[in-house]
Chains A and B, each alone.
Chain A
Amino acid sequence: GAVVSQHPSWVICKSGTSVKIECRSLDFQATTMFWYRQFPKQSLMLMATSNEGSKATYEQGVEKDKFLINHASLTLSTLTVTSAHPEDSSFYICSASAAYEQYFGPGTRLTVT
């Protein structure tokens, strides 16, 4: 149980385009989902907290107009990287909370050329 999926697992896009990443909780309902970013050899950096049916809460320093988050249902949250630039290249990971634990998706490797 407690499986979280992400799609796509990797994506390459051109600078200036937008990319959407989906995060789904497959066997449980998650009122709260989280989006993280991980740089090489670094910790997981929380970008935003996504609550179903309401606006996401962004961490300090994260541009909400650049990283659009939508949590339309109890099993789906999406992260859209708008007008992507090479510095947005990173590993993006989502998680969904169930009781006290967070369960993580497998991550999405974004490369912006």
Chain B
Amino acid sequence: DQQVKQNSPSLSVQEGRISILNCDYTNSMFDYFLWYKKYPAEGPTFLISISSIKDKNEDGRFTVFLNKSAKHLSLHIVPSQPGDSAVYFCAARSGGSNYKLTFGKGTLLTVNP
């Protein structure tokens, strides 16, 4: 049973436009959500996170939105740059779980020049 789902395996956008990556979860105990960026043959790099008590967190070009009632979060990248091309993983953590993260399968973002 996949508790964190990224239903789009890939996304292609034009440089300068907005990239929107989506993530859905099923476990209502999740209270903290993170986005990671990963290049091939490298470890994931932490991008941005959001606590369940918030509905938005912004850091530069990256904004994460959380809709708890829909169990949905999204990552917005504006403006998109070719260097943003990578696999993006959504991850979630439940309180008291010793920081164990549950990952989605990832979305490959390609930003075309």
**Residues of A bordering B, CB below 8 Å:** 2, 4, 6, 32, 34, 42-44, 46, 49, 51, 91, 93, 95, 97, 100-107, 109
Contact = CB atoms under 8 A, between A and B. Distances in A.
Nearest to A2: B46
Interface residues of B, number: 22
16 contacts: A4-B43, A43-B106, A44-B103, A46-B100, A46-B102, A46-B103, A100-B32, A100-B49, A101-B34, A102-B99, A102-B101, A106-B42, A107-B41, A107-B42, A107-B43, A109-B41
B44 interface: yes
Nearest to B108: A41
DSSP majority for the B interface?
strand
A90 to B, nearest CB: 12
Contacts of A42: 105
A49 B100 contact: yes
B89 interface: yes
Contacts of A51: 98
In the A-B complex, the 4 residue pairs with the closest CB atoms? A104-B43, A97-B99, A43-B105, A104-B44
